[in-house]
Amino acid sequence: MANVDATTKSAFDRAEEIKLLANEAFKANKYTQAIDLYSQAINENSQNAVYWANRALAHTKLEEYGSAIQDATKAIEIDPKYSKGYYRRGAAYLAMGKLKEALKDFQQVKKISPNDPDAAKKLKECEKAVLKLKFEEAIAVQDSDRRSIADAIDFHSIDVEPQYTGARIDGEVVTLEFVKKMIDDFKNQKCLHKRYAYQIVLQAREMLRAMPSLVDITVRDGDHFTVCGDIHGQFYDLLNIFKLNGLPSEENPYLFNGDFVDRGSFSLEVILTLFAFKCMSPSAIYLARGNHESKNMNKIYGFEGEVRSKLSETFVELFAEVFCCLPLAHVINDKVFVVHGGLFSVDGVKLSDIRAIDRFCEPPEEGLMCELLWSDPQPHLGRGPSKRGVGLSFGEDVTKRFLQENNLDLVVRSHEVKDEGYEIEHDGRLITVFSAPNYCDQMGNKGAFLRFKAPDMKPDIVTFSAVPHPDVKPMAYANNFLRMFS
């Protein structure tokens, strides 16, 4: 018997030692490493709620909210009086915009720790957020009945004050001179006059609305084409991409693959710059929708608050409308399929099925459109649940079949921070590209973009590091409640 106890004890001791290493990795922002180590601790001792709750927090840091909820739930099962389990799960629900579920968990935290002032404060904020949500739901107009906000705006009737010294658009045409002046003003943290902001966003809306849900791009032999991943409001890093690779033009075209906004606190500058280039020259820049080009995400992760602070409430509605016009995927030279998230929960999806998606809406919680925006690759074959709690995970076999059935060579997607700014998976058939270096000022990752040259269309990968930006923290405009957790 003593022998068994010794074995058990040594497993418990090993688990504790591994947990301490995991905590160190977590403190160093090495969240993937922390998850691996917490998993090893759990293998040694699966009945310790702390390991599960700590791993849940590390998943949250990597935006793997589905996995965080699973781990926190396991911690609660092991110890129903462990307040951190509810706390971690509540925070993950919150990050997904599931406020009502979050509220239940924070009520439990308060019940277990009635004298904890921090728990009381967070519960109060959560109650406020749920009340606000209920009020918004009550006054919301059905999409089918909603009048377009764009149709109600006449930017020509807005006067520009004589003391305004910023960039100006002469007449109807957005020129390169204007875009350069606007970028310079943004660099110096000056605002664009709302007349010109309206003009850019409305013109971009017209162009995007006219495009199909799946856009075909042709690159002539000898010419090149650049694909960028998530920018997430990191305006100064966007300018660095242009410095390294040239401004967008007919001869130097770009595709930005979604998640232009949120998290970084210069999202408005990013989106106005990208939209202005689109207005200047439609074939110089292509834009795809990401999961963050949606009302639900913008409400939580900062874009809505930033637009309200820098422009107005009308612009909040206008951007929400324009984001619903963004195409969902691109195919370059009939070879490269580019999409923000990933592939599908069913086999046999053809490019024609993607073309047929009616995309002019907020992203649904399931189906092809949701999966295009939210899915992630996984290292093993087949399909699995999403670590994010939305979409799914898909294996190399799924990628290979999709490419074969559609006569394509490569999937390029974004959506996930990568240490080197990119990752090649699925036997070279899938590349993740992420263009926000030192994401949220804390991940220490590089950014990357891909340059394709026709006719062979093999990707040339360029990586780069973060550049300094003015002292405005990421998430500065985010939902007050979410900021309490970051």
Residue-wise pLDDT tens digits, 7-59 = 666 889 999 999 999 999 999 999 999 999 999 999 999 999 999 999 999 99
- Number of neighbours of residue 250 by Cβ within 10 angstroms: 10
Mean pLDDT of the chain: 94
The answer to whether 2-139 and 150-483 have equal CATH topology is no
What pLDDT does 256 receive?
98
Do residues 465 and 419 make contact, with C-beta atoms less than 8 angstroms apart? Answer: no
Bridging pattern class, strands 430-433 and 410-413: parallel
pLDDT computed for residue 115 by the predictor? 87
**306: pLDDT confidence band, cut at 50, 70 and 90?**
very high
pLDDT attached to residue 311: 96
Longest dimension (CA), the chain: 89
Residues sharing a CB contact under 8 Å with residue 427, sequence separation 6 or more, in sequence order: 396, 400
pLDDT number for residue 143:
59
Per-residue pLDDT for 106 more than 60? Answer: yes
Q: What is the CATH number that goes with domain 2-139?
A: 1.25.40.10
- Assigned superfamily of 150-483: Metallo-dependent phosphatases (3.60.21.10)
Q: Using CA atoms, how far apart are residues 79 and 343, in angstroms rounded to an integer?
A: 38
Q: Which of 171, 169, 217, 175 is closest to 193 using CA atoms?
A: 169
Predicted TM-score of the model (pTM): 0.94
pLDDT tens digit string along 383-400? 999 999 999 999 999 999
pLDDT tens per residue across span 397-447: 999 999 999 999 999 999 999 999 999 999 999 999 999 999 999 999 999
Tell me: pLDDT of 241 over 90: yes
**Would you list the domain boundaries of the chain?**
2-139, 150-483
Residues 6+ apart with CB under 8 A from 462: 244, 245, 448, 449, 450, 451
In which band, very low, low, confident or very high, does the pLDDT at 135 lie, cut at 50, 70 and 90? confident
User: With 50 as the cut, is the pLDDT of residue 2 above it?
Assistant: no
Q: What is the dihedral of CA 237, 246, 413, 325, to 10 degrees?
A: 90
Give the residue-averaged pLDDT of 119-127.
82
Q: Which pLDDT value is given to residue 483?
A: 65
Report the pLDDT value the prediction gives residue 1, as an integer from 0 to 100.
45
Tens of pLDDT, residues 312-364: 999 999 999 999 999 999 999 999 999 999 999 999 999 999 999 999 999 99
pLDDT tens column, 152-161 = 999 999 999 9
The Cα–Cα gap between 325 and 293 comes to 10
Would you state the pLDDT for residue 139? 77
Q: Residue 116: its pLDDT value, please?
A: 84
Positions marked catalytic: 292
**Strand 392-394 to strand 410-413: parallel, antiparallel, or no bridges (unpaired)?**
unpaired
Looking at residue 480, its pLDDT comes to: 67
Residue 99 pLDDT? 85
Judged by phi (left if over 0) then psi (alpha if -120 to 50, else beta), residue 123 lies in alpha
Residue 397: closest CA among 377, 415, 412: 377
- Give the pLDDT of residue 190: 96
* Alpha carbon distance 113, 132 (integer Å): 26
pLDDT above 90 (res 94):
no
